Chains A and B, each alone.
Chain A
Amino acid sequence: MANVLIVEDDKLLSQAYHLILEHEGHDVRVAEDGKHALKLIKESDPEVILLDLMMPEMGGLEFLKRYELESKHPNTTVVILSNLGDEKEIQKGLDLGAYKYIVKAQATPIQLSVLVNTLISKNIDKKKTAVK
């Protein structure tokens, strides 16, 4: 079980991702844009963030810039889930520290939950190595 944050403004999609991940036994929170996500993160750091890019108030790329993923949150993995499949957008997201970029329309819920589980087990391995 892990702490997962979904940052997605489309309620139908965030609800579906919520259902899938909760079913897998994860502790899931939902933010409807980048600003809301920054607020929720203050309470506790998630292990995985599923991040949309085009959102009102604060978009995904702006969120990544403010979040300073690598320096301040080394145990968090961000996966961008967006329907903007443009190479430049993908590169920008990866440059800002995202682990992977997935075009939402091309991912099934099963693939998504498998990905989250894999990332979490990798994170656990990382922590074990650090303790040793």
Chain B
Amino acid sequence: MKIRLMKSIVIVFLVMISVLLLIPFFIIITKVRLDDFYQLLIEKLWFYPKFWNSMLYSLSIAAGSTAISLLAAFAICKGNLRFEKIILSALLLIMLMPLQTTLLPNYIGIRDLKLLDTRAAMVLPMIFSPFAIYLMIQYMKENEEECLEAARLETSSVFCMIHHVVIPQMKGCLTAVFIFMYLEGFSMVEQSLFYIKKERLKPLSVILSSLQDEEKYLIYAIGIVCILGFFIMNFLYEEELEAGLGKLKL
């Protein structure tokens, strides 16, 4: 009886939190007008370059970090590394660091590589994401070892093993990492403020600061257009996401 009551209280609490989280979305919907979409999509020429910049950055980051984290996770999990635990601890430590602490070292690195004010400055630091690697490692640990051993009997090529054995087993996790990194790439603000000065290279996430007063009403329409993209991506890969995250034991 007590357990049931506790469960009901938890469910009510979670529903309340969910409703609270939906409030900003409802505010956006009530404020936006059809004419705003017309203004944004047809009349305002600055929207499209910024939107496609955001898409380019987030898709590159998502694809790059998925590939890199898969290889890194494979090396850490299946490579019989000596310092596996130390590497995992270091990854966790870096993952827990706030973005602002890594911003300056990243800036110095990008400056020394002469990549400031380029698209690569936005993409490269985000590709090497400790979060994506950690997620991938946790998932890979749950994979069946026997399949990989069987593959080892057939081939000695690591890429063949990854292609034929690891990737099919990790589809869910790969999708989850891709979507998470896409969302992170789309909503990055600090990086675009620090690494890029050229207006034409800036993404949509920093548009708020440069919007003129008479165009401020467009932020709701911009919000809807961006949220729609996330929704569609989420609905498209809903099952893979559930399968991927459900298997994780974080």
Partners in one complex: no
Query: Footprint of A on B, CB under 8 Å?
Result: none
Query: Footprint of B on A, CB under 8 Å?
Result: none
